[in-house]
Structure 1
Amino acid sequence: MPTAPQTTDELYRALEENDRRPYGRTRTVTAEELVDAAERFADPVPLVHALLELQEAYNYGAEPRKSPVVFARLLTLFDEQPDVFDERLRHTLFWRFKWVAHALRALPEVPLTGLRQWLTEMRDRYEKAGLGLQPYYGQAYQLAAHVGEGTDLAYELWAARPRTGLSDCEACEICERALYHLAAGDDERALRTWEPVLAGAESCQEEPARSISYALLPLLRTGHADRARALHLTGYRACRRSSSMSGEVGRHLEFCALTGNEARGLELLAENRNLFDDVDSPLDLLDFLTGVEVLLQRVDLLGHGELRVAGYAGRTWTVTGLRAEVRDRADDLAARFDARNGTTAHTDRRRARLDRAPLLDALELTLRTRGLDDMAPVAAPAARAAAALPETLPELILRARESDERGHPDATACWARLRTLVAAPDYAHPDDPALGPLVLLRADLLADEASLAGDKDEFDAAAARYEEAASLYDEAGAPGHAVLARACALLLAARVPEERGDGAEAQAAALTAAHAALVELHEKTSGLAPYQEARLLRLRATALGLRLQTSRNEEHIAPVLAEADLLLAFATRHEIDGQISGALMLRASTYALSGELPVAATEIDALLDRLRAHGPAWHLPRTLGLRGRIRLGLKDAQAAHADLTEGLRLASDWPSGTLGTARLHGDLAEACMRLGRPDEALRHLTRSAETELRHGSRTDAFCAYANAAQLGLDLGRIEDCIALLDSLLAEPDVTAGALDDRLVAQLRLTRARALHAGEDLKAAKVEFAALAAESAGWDDDPGSHAMIAAETAVLLAESGEFGRAREAADQALAAHVRAPRYEQLSNCLRELARLQAERQGAEGLAGALAFLADAGRIADEARAANHRARGRGLDSALAYEHGRVNAYAGEYKTALAALEEAVTLLGEPGADENHAGEWAECVRLAAAVEGIYLERPDPARARLDEALSRLTALGHTEETKPLTSLAARLREG
């Protein structure tokens, strides 16, 4: 706190500000400082308020040792100066007797006699104050349940009594009753009891998150896996990282462990690593650590004990090491509670949780399906089982070179294995003339590394590796290989402008120069093996194909086809099937790029026939993928879906990641969207993303995941969307700032929109405000800042913060000057005006009209720039909003005039349903203002009758319903 409050008004403002902060150290420390400040005032009332705020911070900050101390001061003040406590403060004081009872239960060092003495104190105080004793019996039951003795009688004494004004909230009491039935082994009755909370009908500070965490396993046991999945997503988000809900986090980890989602559990554990050190409540810590141990035990039993895992600060943990540490600490805590209570209840409950067998082999919890293998560092793709690698080193080297020469997918695994062997300190290269010297093998491995880098669009690095490989090939006496490596370096160097994001013209120029250099290199080289010369011809054709793809210039079509035909003739003459296929594929894709899709389809059909007859079989998946894309272009989504599905099926016969499965999944997602199957599209998008991620293409993976998140949001799968984005934003390269900052911002923006859609306005507001502040510095992209600031303004207005909303709108307007966003900004300003007038009435009219004045200027600018809105016309929408705003403020004559102007601007309703609906809504609101608020029902009915006749004549029956309803209301007076 910069400076201590100097007046009681400043103190109360500081208390209100602190109350808006999330629970945690910042809020707690500030509350402690405010108590110190309040003690300096003569009036004790501010001190009472400050102490109440401090106790709340301790209670929800998981610091049970400090909460009773603060309450003791409050109780002393009450005894000494009862008049200081008005009815509200007195109610709060007696309510918090229960907080202290809970805090004392959470501390094993407090003897059982002390707990019972406190309950006696509570009972005596309640009786003396004339208060009902149901809250006391509720605490007595919770103590019995904690100790594990006398629970049935204690439950009856509590549950049979009527609630009072000091009883726990309905949601909390429902949870306690459900837990009683759960402890008795009656899952069905527990779930029936929980239903009002799980359905959202009852809630409070900690509910429904607390109940959800307990209900997950009963839901699974009773066959409600889908509901358990959905509640896991909502419930976990409500408790993550919260020290006061560490037990709930532990139960979510346990749920993951028992549903085949161990990887998800480790991900959540990493997100909550703060709880190892931040939780000061021994009881909550025991609950959390037991859930952690259930997860770690499961991962260890599955053979992944050496995985790195997040744990206590100060050292690096493996699953096995952290499991042992957690077990020792949790065993000690359970033993301390049992020693205090004189029972074995906590040890028994802990053992029961640890002894549970998995309830499901696999339950897909999130859109991002990951296994424990995915948690390890990215490894080279493994070969399919059918193609076991040779056991001897000479055979492995020969297999690698032979596979590479043919373009066989097995080459990938062979080179990966060789790379590991050669890197070993004790590697000894075979003395075999057929294998060549070690420098030749090192050149081969460098060339393979260059190819892998090129696949990840790391063109600069790939070109450098090829150049280095060429030098080693020269040293090894392999000139043909050296020429090929230099040719590859030439092509990749020409793609560096693409990697840098240079314009299409620069990229096309670089590729033109590269093609000329490749031709020159080819012409001055002799003695190449046929497969090497075919590759060189393929590189020449590829350079021109990439140029066409970049420029889309019709003049660049013929040169590609000419080079492809050269390659085809040469490969046919030398019977090189792989390059014959490559030439035909290049011809088909060239026709597709040039827009001649029927010709492309004919070419690709012929290629598929040839591949099925002559091979190579591993070219089929990519070829089917291209035919699928061509058929999408021909608007035959069903046929495209069939091709792409077949391509995926065939790709599964080959080593993972070698045949473009990520692209096939991405294209299938598009086909599914066109077929109206968005859920299937979502699955393919996430599979595409995870495939890219497994093979190191992280930018492509995050782009695909960003599309999946947006689609999830569009489909209304809000919690799925948020869970996916939370997982992505916790990735190490994101948190370390290694991923493109604009891509990360897009992920965060989608998350903020999802939070908004899910009505978590507080969290959405924080994220939008942060994004608005960051995007203000995007000098190269002011349009995006305008959009983000506009959305932030609307969210602030929805929260009632119209001053801050005005500031955000001004930021959006300033950015709009540099990069106009007419429609988006006009929509935002009109919505801001509506919200302010709706919430504040006449008091907010001036602010609302100021927003509309800005929207009017934007409409004028759009008209001057000949901008045509895609949706509602800006002028008619503005007139309608003037009508609505003035109606909210009670300015009915002005409202009616504006609405009549809107009707005029819209013109006559036609066949378009959207336009007719907009016109009908303007008429309806005008009639409501005129007939109800201006008390002129006759002209209002005439207005409606005329509109109904027009709409009916045009066949717009749905649009007439609101008008008919209003007309009936006006007739009834």
Structure 2
Amino acid sequence: MSESIRIDELLEQVDQTPFGPEERALIDQAIAIAVESGDEFSEYRARMRLASSANMTGDTDTLLSSFAWCLGKHDADAARFPAKPDDSAGDLLWQYKWMAGTLSASPAFPAADIRGVLDDMQSRYERAGVGQSGVAMARFGAAFANGWLDEAAEAYRVLTTTERDDYSHCDACVRSESAAYLAATGRDDEAISLYEEIVEGGFSCGEEPEHALSDALLPYLRAGRLDRAKSFHLRSYRDARGNADNIGIIANHLVFCAITGNEARGLAMLERHIAWIAHDRLNQRAQFSALAATGLLLDTIVDAGHGDTVVRGADSAELEPFFGSHTGPWTAAELSPAAWAAAAAIGDGFDRRNGNRHLADRLQATRALRTERYDVAITGEAFAAPVPAAAAEPVDAGGWVDRARELAALGEIDRALAAAEHGLTALESDAAASVTDDRRAELIGIRLAVLVAASRLEDAEQELPARIAALRAAGDEAVADALARHGLLLAGSATASDLPVLEQELGVALQSGADDLSARVALRITAVRAEAGDLEGAGTAADTAIAVLDRAPEPEPMLVGAAFQLAAYLAAQGEEPATALPLLDRAIAAEPTRVRRAESHRLRARLLAGSGDLEAALAASEAALEHDLAIDARMRVVEDCQLSAAILDDLARPDDAVARLRLAVQHAKLAESPGLVGVRYGLGRQLLRAGRTGEAVELLQDVFEAEVAAGAPPAARAETLHLLGTALRGEEEFAAASGAWHTAAELFEEAEAWPGAVAVLADLGRLFAGLGYAEEAIEVLERAVADARRDPDTVASLADALHLLGQVSLEHGEPNGLDRLDEVAALAREHGADWLLADVVDSRARGLAALSRPEEAVATALTAAELFEAVGATRPAGGSMLFAGRVLQSEGRHDEALVLISQAIERFDGQADAVALGRIALADSLEALGRLAESAEARRLAEEV
């Protein structure tokens, strides 16, 4: 293959690759081949692309050098090196628009150079015979950026009166910079109008609208439009956070967080992006903005009482030129003055170059923002992780017993063993011998049980003699003898094959009246039988344990709690789960350890939720959470929070559910749980259910990126993208939603998860149909139908996809939509889905009307009404009748329409919205019949509903 062909292939790849490291590597490879082969024209084409890439990724050094090289070649031989060498390489005249702004961004370039490049740009445009709109914008941008405000005012006038041409800046950029200028000069209302145009018009380009939306934050806050500002913040940040060249945009978001009570969120952003300050050494204007915003944010963190918070990443070597040297990590209080000083030093350089105090005034205005406050709630990051204060170390053996029990119940093997050892040491100072003996037996028993649970059976065997001796010293000869006979079987190592031995031991113990031993053996049998799946036998053994403990004068609380908890778990799996509730109450009352009480509360919550007693279920779940928080059982806290969140959502308290899931995320982080991504996914889903779509988008994007990095299965990533697309649709970011759903569909199909693929394609079809893109909607819905047919078990998915495809096809005027609806009707009849049958017949009626077949439409709608009524769906029946009446109205048959509309209103049974629609329809026909008084009365009644 020749070098020129290889270069062409590489440049074609460049043109199809997004700006970034992969694209840059392709360009570098093409340049290297061109240089090695001496092909200057190919090098020229590649360097033109390099300039564009450098401009978009914040590599000012490369942008200036590459542009200068290409300009030199063009000036030396314009015929060989034309301004536009190919359709995709870019255009030197176009790239000239970047130069004044690039030079303005660093005080290293004199003002004379900026003015010179503007004059050269204008003369080149004039010689080329192109319009001056691009020149006008470049002059305006440079004057505004450098604080030459008189020039900026005149340049703005020229810009707004110059006709647009092929070299004009894009609509988004012109509006964005104009709005920023208007806001900076006190014309916030005009600025806000332009920001609204950007959003409503969908204007975008390389860094728009995220740049404009970040500039809009302060004007919107000051105008009292806090929800709009929040929406802009969330959207702009998530679009800007992936490109280090956007550090100036990030600066605006740090300011937003500082003055809206979201200091912790701002700190998380700062730590995420602080290295970007050093990304482009020549973009000092962005460095100034970022450093000033950092100073403001850190001041508000100090004001909030968190000045000792460490700012992670601030001590990196690349930031030392800005902040200076420092021993150890920077705290917020320490870093703030360093950030302000660095910003001031950069600002002084600009002001000397520009001959004014523009940046000094900006710095002063930023400092003054410390006194402004707008309450915009964005829950999420917090300064202090929810870690309870470390429990005070026990002061006696009894305290160590309690600590060892809880640690053992949590499965904290080494810590439980250590606690037991501390307890045994503490016994040496206990005065009462009887207490000492009882405590020693208990502590050694805990140690023995922990070793067995950890399958450290050799260590357990060595511990067994000490346990037997301690029991004898405490006067518990029966249990000691049983342990001597059966060893570790009674300590937890027994399996189903050991049941005959255990049953025989239980019989002997019961006959001898050894209640404590009987209860212990019965509970061991309960556990073994339950593990083997013999729930009936386990229940009988648990009943035996409870009966023995109930008759004992002073039963051990641990045994009582365990007996009732085991019995409750078994009852919960039976035919009458509610019978477990009183057992759990007994378990909670008797159980001495918070771990086991929390377990019982958690099961109680699940049972109450299943029975529909949601308030009581929530109380139980919160009780479990309180216990687990107190003992810092982090993964159990996560489980409790997820349970409470589900109950709160069922109680129609979605925001409270969000708060619980936020706590779950924090504890999953503390636990370094491998399931953190799943917990965050649950939070994203709940944010969506709470209608907080902007926050959901941000979180779900993070979840998806984490899943990609972890190599999550395609179906898992698809689920996340499906939710993300739903959130984006809620934010009216329809193009982004479409992209997310397209990718989700591909991933579902890759995983052969056909129901998921059908569901996401159906959503995509609805989106396209709602936006008026019928052909695109039909295309994706046909794909959904094809996917549904791949799996014979996805009948419901097939019916949904066919139904939607039929509706959209008919709305688009395609008669074959009727065939699709007929197939749905056949499926409904085959599977006895009577409501679906009524619904699809109603859809057929509406499709017939769209095909201009009114007689059939009316008859079919009345059939749908009959089918709805047959399944007790009175309001939908009324809807079908109302539709039939509307069709008759369109045919001028108002007498007949009145009858059907009146019957429809009767079926709406006082449902206000439907009744109002019916009365308006009634008024239309009465008016057409000349019955004006009756029509007016119907309209009056409609308004009163």
Same fold (TM > 0.5): yes
The partner residue of 1:869 within 782, 791, 795 is: 795
Q: 2:594 aligned with 1:632, yes or no?
A: no
The partner residue of 2:350 within 316, 337, 350 is: 337
Distance 1:70 1:662, change over 3 A: closer
* Matching residue of 1:561: 543
* Matching residue of 2:177: 176
Q: How big is each residue's C-alpha offset from its partner over 1:915-939, in whole Å with a ceiling of 9 and x where there is no partner?
A: 32333435654675xx5xxxxx6xx
* Matching residue of 1:284: 286
The partner residue of 1:463 within 433, 440, 454 is: 454
Q: How big is each residue's C-alpha offset from its partner over 1:621-672, in whole Å with a ceiling of 9 and x where there is no partner?
A: 6655443322222222244235445666x65995554996544433322322
**Distance between the aligned counterparts of 2:269 and 2:489, measured in 1?**
44
Bigger mean CA offset, 915-924 vs 310-319: 310-319
Q: 2:704 aligned with 1:706, yes or no?
A: no
Does the CA-based 8 Å contact 1:64-1:107 persist in structure 2?
no
* Matching residue of 2:746: 792
Structure (1 or 2) with the larger CA radius of gyration: 2
Does the CA-based 8 Å contact 1:718-1:754 persist in structure 2?
no
Structure 2 counterpart of 1:752, which letter?
A: L
Distance 1:299 1:747, change over 3 A: farther
Does the CA-based 8 Å contact 1:212-1:232 persist in structure 2?
yes
Distance 1:398 1:179, change over 3 A: farther
**Distance between the aligned counterparts of 1:971 and 1:711, measured in 2?**
49
Distance 1:763 1:285, change over 3 A: farther
Secondary structure of 2:642 counterpart:
helix
**Distance between the aligned counterparts of 1:313 and 1:56, measured in 2?**
30
Distance 1:873 1:764, change over 3 A: closer
**Distance between the aligned counterparts of 1:466 and 1:918, measured in 2?**
66
* Matching residue of 1:67: 63
The partner residue of 2:649 within 673, 679, 685 is: 673
**Distance between the aligned counterparts of 2:410 and 2:430, measured in 1?**
18
1:262 to partner: Cα distance: 4.6
**Normalising to structure 2: TM-score of the pair?**
0.69
Q: 2:837 aligned with 1:915, yes or no?
A: yes
**Distance between the aligned counterparts of 1:474 and 1:514, measured in 2?**
21
The partner residue of 1:24 within 20, 26, 48 is: 20
Does the CA-based 8 Å contact 1:137-1:158 persist in structure 2?
yes
* Matching residue of 1:541: 523
Structure 2 counterpart of 1:157, which letter?
A: R
Distance 1:127 1:658, change over 3 A: closer
Distance 1:116 1:703, change over 3 A: closer
Q: 2:154 aligned with 1:143, yes or no?
A: no
**Distance between the aligned counterparts of 1:133 and 1:966, measured in 2?**
57
Q: 2:74 aligned with 1:77, yes or no?
A: yes
Q: How big is each residue's C-alpha offset from its partner over 1:129-184, in whole Å with a ceiling of 9 and x where there is no partner?
A: 56655543433333333333435644653565355234433333333233234434
**Distance between the aligned counterparts of 2:490 and 2:312, measured in 1?**
37
Structure 1 counterpart of 2:720, which letter?
A: R
* Matching residue of 2:577: 597
Q: Pairwise mapping of residues 367-766 of structure 1 onto structure 2 (< 5 A)?
A: 369-374=380-385, 381-382=388-389, 389=392, 396-398=395-397, 400-401=399-400, 403-404=402-403, 433-434=429-430, 463=454, 479=470, 512=496, 541=523, 544=526, 548=530, 551=533, 553-567=535-549, 569-570=551-552, 573-574=553-554, 576-577=556-557, 579-604=559-584, 624-645=601-622, 651=627, 654=630, 657=633, 661-694=637-670, 696=671, 698-699=673-674, 702-713=677-688, 717-727=692-702, 748-757=717-726, 758=728
Q: 2:59 aligned with 1:57, yes or no?
A: no
Q: Pairwise mapping of residues 894-933 of structure 1 onto structure 2 (< 5 A)?
A: 912-922=834-844, 924-925=846-847, 931=851
Secondary structure of 2:161 counterpart:
coil
1:683 to partner: Cα distance: 2.9
* Matching residue of 1:949: 862
Secondary structure of 1:80 counterpart:
coil
Does the CA-based 8 Å contact 1:11-1:34 persist in structure 2?
yes
Does the CA-based 8 Å contact 1:829-1:851 persist in structure 2?
yes
Q: How big is each residue's C-alpha offset from its partner over 1:767-800, in whole Å with a ceiling of 9 and x where there is no partner?
A: 999xx9xxxxxxxxxxxxxxx7xx2178xxxxxx
Secondary structure of 2:208 counterpart:
coil
The partner residue of 1:302 within 297, 302, 306 is: 306
Structure 1 counterpart of 2:541, which letter?
A: P
* Matching residue of 1:799: none
Distance 1:354 1:460, change over 3 A: farther
**Distance between the aligned counterparts of 1:692 and 1:492, measured in 2?**
36
Distance 1:71 1:655, change over 3 A: same
1:620 to partner: Cα distance: 7.0
**Distance between the aligned counterparts of 1:293 and 1:565, measured in 2?**
70
Q: How big is each residue's C-alpha offset from its partner over 1:92-113, in whole Å with a ceiling of 9 and x where there is no partner?
A: 5544332111111123221111
Secondary structure of 1:110 counterpart:
coil
Q: How big is each residue's C-alpha offset from its partner over 1:817-837, in whole Å with a ceiling of 9 and x where there is no partner?
A: xxxx66556778999999999
**Normalising to structure 1: TM-score of the pair?**
0.68
Secondary structure of 1:594 counterpart:
coil
**Distance between the aligned counterparts of 2:57 and 2:299, measured in 1?**
29
**Distance between the aligned counterparts of 2:375 and 2:461, measured in 1?**
49
Does the CA-based 8 Å contact 1:397-1:418 persist in structure 2?
no
Secondary structure of 1:870 counterpart:
helix
Structure 2 counterpart of 1:665, which letter?
A: C
1:204 to partner: Cα distance: 2.7
**Distance between the aligned counterparts of 1:615 and 1:447, measured in 2?**
15
**Distance between the aligned counterparts of 1:155 and 1:583, measured in 2?**
85
Structure 1 unaligned segments of length 5 or more: list them: 424-428, 495-508, 773-787, 795-808, 932-936
Distance 1:578 1:326, change over 3 A: same
**Distance between the aligned counterparts of 1:851 and 1:217, measured in 2?**
45
Distance 1:653 1:824, change over 3 A: closer
Does the CA-based 8 Å contact 2:834-2:867 persist in structure 1?
no
Does the CA-based 8 Å contact 1:5-1:11 persist in structure 2?
yes
**Distance between the aligned counterparts of 1:587 and 1:245, measured in 2?**
61
Bigger mean CA offset, 46-55 vs 401-410: 401-410
Structure 1 counterpart of 2:618, which letter?
A: H
**Distance between the aligned counterparts of 2:72 and 2:85, measured in 1?**
14
Distance 1:519 1:970, change over 3 A: same
Structure 2 counterpart of 1:340, which letter?
A: R
Between the two proteins, the alignment pairs up a number of residues equal to 836
**Distance between the aligned counterparts of 1:826 and 1:15, measured in 2?**
38
**Distance between the aligned counterparts of 1:242 and 1:33, measured in 2?**
23
Q: How big is each residue's C-alpha offset from its partner over 1:423-442, in whole Å with a ceiling of 9 and x where there is no partner?
A: 9xxxxx99964499xxx9xx
* Matching residue of 2:939: none
**Distance between the aligned counterparts of 1:346 and 1:535, measured in 2?**
83
**Distance between the aligned counterparts of 1:491 and 1:337, measured in 2?**
82
Q: 2:879 aligned with 1:958, yes or no?
A: yes
**Distance between the aligned counterparts of 2:785 and 2:410, measured in 1?**
65
Bigger mean CA offset, 131-140 vs 664-673: 131-140
Does the CA-based 8 Å contact 1:277-1:312 persist in structure 2?
no
1:579 to partner: Cα distance: 4.9
Structure 2 counterpart of 1:98, which letter?
A: K
Q: 2:164 aligned with 1:164, yes or no?
A: yes
Bigger mean CA offset, 316-325 vs 516-525: 516-525
1:343 to partner: Cα distance: 3.7
Distance 1:317 1:189, change over 3 A: farther
Distance 1:491 1:304, change over 3 A: farther
Does the CA-based 8 Å contact 1:903-1:922 persist in structure 2?
no
